[in-house]
Amino acid sequence: MIQFTDIVTNDYNKNMFDSFKQLKQLKELQNAIQKEEVTAERDGVRITMNGAFEVNEVSIEEGIANDRLQKLMKEVFNDAVKKAQQAIAGKFAAMQK
pLDDT digits (tens, 9 = 90+) for 38-94: 999 999 999 999 988 999 999 999 999 998 999 999 999 999 999 999 988 888 888
pLDDT computed for residue 11 by the predictor = 66
Provide mean pLDDT across the span 4-14.
60
pLDDT computed for residue 10 by the predictor = 65
In angstroms, the CA 7 to CA 43 distance is: 65
Q: Which residues contact 9 (CB under 8 A, 6 or more apart)?
A: none
Domain boundaries, the chain: 4-96
pLDDT computed for residue 23 by the predictor = 85
pLDDT computed for residue 77 by the predictor = 96
pLDDT at residue 2 tops 90: no
The three-state secondary structure class of 51 is: coil
Does 3.30.450.20 match the CATH number of domain 4-96? no
